[in-house]
Chain A
Amino acid sequence: MTGTIVKSNERKLTIARSMAEALAQEMRIDPTVFVMGEDIGTLGGVYGNTRGLIEEFGPERVRDTPISETGFIGAAVGAAQDGMRPVVELMFVDFFGVCFDAIYNLMAKNIYFSGGHLKVPMVLMTSTGGGYSDGGQHSQCLYGTFAHLPGMKVVAPSNAYDAKGLMTAALRDDSPVVYMYHKGLQGMGWLGTEPGATVHVPEDSYTVEIGKAKVVREGRDVTIVSLGIGVHHALKAADTLAQQNVSAEVVDLRSLVPLDRDTIRASVAKTGRLIVVDEDYHSFGVSAEVIASVVEHDLSVLKAAPVRVAYPDVPIPYARVMEQFCLPSPAKIVAAWAQMAA
C-alpha cells in the first residue's frame, strides 16, 4: 500500500498511533508545537491520536479545552501568527459549523491579507466519515467544503505510513493545514477498522509531501481515484475486477489542496476511463473536481464518460440499512465499471 517493502517483522502502526508519534517527535524538537482540543489530554483524544502526549509534554502544551471551538481555533490562529505552531482538534468535522469563521476567514486568509508577511503555521486535525450509524451530525466527510475555500491545505491519509508523513509535513508547513482522518481507518476497535490502514511505519521522523498523490495499484483499463477510506474500497474493487480480467489502477489522492492533477491526468491518459470514489456528498465536491481536472485538460484521452461513486445528496441517515444503502462500497465501484463498460 505504501510502496515500501514490508518485512513481516517490521512494526505496524494504526493511523491513531502514527499521528500521535508524529506529534510527539515534532514536539520533542520544536518547543513551539502545542496541541489544543476537546478530550485530547487526559483521554488522549477520542480517536487515540494524541495518546501519550500529556504524559510526556504536560498540560501546558497538551491542553484540554472547553467546548468552545470558535474560541480555541481562533486562538490557534493568533498563536500561530505570534510564532507558535499550534495543533488543534475539531473532534468531528461535522462540528465545523460552530467555528468556521475562525477557519476559513481567519486561518485561511490571514497570510493573504498580510500580503504574505505573516505565517499561519497551524494544523487543524478533524475526524471524518460514517458507516457506524452515528447519525447526520457525526458522520460526514465534508472534504469538498474545506477544499473549496482557498488558503488552507487539505490532506486526508488512507494509511498509517502516509498519516505520519503527512502529519510531520503539516507540522513543518508555514501555512495552515487541515488534516482530515477517517474514523473507520483510525485503528480504534470500537469503530471497526479497515485493516489495510494499519501498515508499516518507520520509527524515524519523515515527511510525505503535501500535494502529491500516489498510484497505489497499477492498472491499464480504468483509473479509480479516491481518498481516505475510499482507497480501500477501490483496492477491493480492483481485486474483484481483476477476477473479471479488468485491470484497475488506483490513485490515492492523499492531499486535496494542492490537488495533484498531474498524477490523475497521467493515469487517465493511460487507462482512458475514470471512476471517482468519495464518501463526501455527490454534488459540488471532490469527485467533480477530479473529473474536471481531466476533462478540462484533454477530453480526447477518455474512452467513456467518467463515473462518480459518492454519497447521495441527502443528510446521513441513522438506520443501518439506509446508511449502508448510501455509502460507497467496493460493490458499487464494480457496478460503476459495469455501467461504464456497457
Chain B
Amino acid sequence: MTPSRDELAWMYRNMVLSRRLEETISKIYFEGKTPVFNMANGPIPGEMHLSNGQEPVAVGVCAHLTAEDIVTATHRPHHQAIAKGVDLDAMVAEIFGKATGLSGGRGGHMHLFDPKVNFACSGIIAQGLGPAVGAALSRKLRGLPGVAVAFLGDGAANQGAFHEAMNLAAVWKLPFVCVIEDNSWGISVPKSASTAVARNDVRAAAYGIPGHYVAGNDPLAIYEVAGEAIARARAGAGPTLIECETYRLAGHFMGDAEGYRPKGEKEALFAADPIPKMRARLLAEFGFSEDELVAAEGAAADRVAAAIRFARDSADPRPEDALTAVFA
C-alpha cells in the first residue's frame, strides 16, 4: 500500500506543521522562565511533553482515518492531535490556558479533547486504551462505521490497562488498532531495562491477534502497516497491535537535562531526523518540486504563527469558571 501523491503531501505538511508548532512552543515555553526555571511561570506553564521526532507515527496512522474515527492519545499528544485534525487554534489556545481553548483552559496540554474529530487524551499512562476499546465497542453495538486507534508509548505497554484492554478488544473482535510509539525511553528508564521483550509486537500473540513492528521511524512504512490494520478493523476482522520505532528528539519534558542519555545518542537521532529524510524522498522518489515543499513549509509556519497569535490574543478564562462544566 503506497500513499497517493495527495496523501504524501498531507503527511509531509502535517509533519512539518507539528514540528513547527513544537519548536515554537519550546521557545515560548521559556518566556517568563528565565533566568530561574520555574514551571509555574510564563504564558505556557506546567509540564510540556514535545513530540519532535515522533511525527511519522501520527501521520502514517492518521492518514487512514477520518473525523468519525476515534483516537485516544497520551501525555505527548500534539502530533497526534494535529494529524487527527483537531482544530489548531483551539488546541493552541488550550495549551496557553485561554478561554477560547478546546476546554476553555480546564484541560491543558495533556488533556486535549475535540469531540468534533473524536480525539481525546489521558496523562495517565495507558489509560487511553480502555476508552478507545469502548468506543470501538460502541460502534460495533450500534452498527456504526469507525475504527478506534489508541496511541501509547513503549513504556505504557507494561501497564495493566494495556493488557486488559488488548484482550478485551481481541476477545470481542472490535474495530481497534493499538499503536505503540517506541522511542525507547520512559522518562529516564530505557526500554531495555523496563520491558521483558525487545519488541512489543510479539505481545500480540498473547491476544491471538496480528502484531507488527515497524523499524526506521519511516512514515511510508508506518502508513503501509497501519493501512492494513485499519482496513482489517473496518472489515470486522478485529484488532491489530503495531509498534513503531520512533525518536524522541527532545527531553521527556521541557527542562529535562537528559543526563541519562548515552553519549552520542542525541546526535545520532538528529542525524536521522525523519522530516529531512521525508523531504529528500519526496524530491527524489515522488516527483515533488522544491518550490512545492518550500510552499508547504511556509504555509505550515504561517498556520502555526496564526494559531499562536490567536492564542495570545485570546482572553484568559474567568477564574470562577473553574467551578463550571463539572457535570453535564
Chain A residues with CB under 8 A of B125: 67, 95, 98
Chain A minimum-CB-distance residue to B108: A318
Contact at B322–A326, with CB atoms within 8 Å? yes
Q: Interface digits, B157-201 against A, CB 8 Å rule (1 contact, 0 not)?
A: 011110000000000000000000000001111000111000000
Partner of A191, one of B39, B106, B318: B39
- Interface status of A131 (Cβ within 8 A of chain B): yes
Chain B residues with CB under 8 A of A64: 188-189, 193-194
Interface centre among B47, B111, B260, B322 (most CB of A within 10 A): B322
Q: Interface digits, B97-141 against A, CB 8 Å rule (1 contact, 0 not)?
A: 110010011111111000000000011111100000000000000
Which of A37-45, A146-154, A203-211, A269-277 is the interface stretch? A37-45
**What range describes how many residues of A lie at the interface?**
35 or more
Known contacts A42-B188, A192-B39, A314-B322, A67 near B155 by CB under 8 Å: yes
Chain B minimum-CB-distance residue to A183: B39
Chain B residues with CB under 8 A of A240: none
CB distance from B253 to the nearest CB of A (A): 10
- Interface status of B289 (Cβ within 8 A of chain A): no
Contact at A38–B127, with CB atoms within 8 Å? no
Contact at B160–A98, with CB atoms within 8 Å? yes
CB distance from A63 to the nearest CB of B (A): 10
Contact at A66–B155, with CB atoms within 8 Å? yes
Contact at A133–B158, with CB atoms within 8 Å? no
Chain B minimum-CB-distance residue to A323: B322
Contact at B194–A66, with CB atoms within 8 Å? yes
- Interface status of B36 (Cβ within 8 A of chain A): yes
Known contacts A94-B124, A98-B161, A325-B319, A38 near B186 by CB under 8 Å: yes
- Interface status of A289 (Cβ within 8 A of chain B): no
A257 to B260, CA, bound (A): 38
Number of residue pairs spanning A and B whose beta carbons lie under 8 angstroms apart: 158
- Interface status of A58 (Cβ within 8 A of chain B): no
Chain A residues with CB under 8 A of B39: 132-134, 190-192
Contact at B105–A322, with CB atoms within 8 Å? yes
A285 to B317, CA, bound (A): 28
CB distance from B4 to the nearest CB of A (A): 38
Contact at A135–B124, with CB atoms within 8 Å? no
Contact at B38–A66, with CB atoms within 8 Å? no
- Interface status of A319 (Cβ within 8 A of chain B): yes
Chain A residues with CB under 8 A of B244: none
Chain B residues with CB under 8 A of A315: 106, 326
Chain A residues with CB under 8 A of B87: none
Partner of A318, one of B46, B187, B189, B195: B46
Known contacts A97-B124, A98-B160, A136-B111, A192 near B319 by CB under 8 Å: no
- Interface status of A65 (Cβ within 8 A of chain B): yes
A308 to B101, CA, bound (A): 32
Contact at B255–A65, with CB atoms within 8 Å? no
Chain B residues with CB under 8 A of A320: 40, 45, 97, 316
Q: Interface digits, A236-262 against B, CB 8 Å rule (1 contact, 0 not)?
A: 000000000000000000000000000
- Interface status of B284 (Cβ within 8 A of chain A): no
Q: Which of A284-324 contact B (CB under 8 A)?
A: 312-315, 317-324
Known contacts A132-B45, A138-B123, A325-B322, A67 near B156 by CB under 8 Å: yes
Given contacts A42-B259, A98-B124, A321-B316, 13 further A-B contacts (CB under 8 A): A38-B187, A39-B187, A42-B260, A64-B194, A65-B194, A67-B155, A67-B156, A67-B186, A133-B46, A312-B322, A317-B322, A319-B98, A319-B104
Could you name 5 residue pairs across A and B whose Cβ atoms are closer than 8 Å? A135-B107, A135-B108, A138-B110, A138-B123, A190-B37
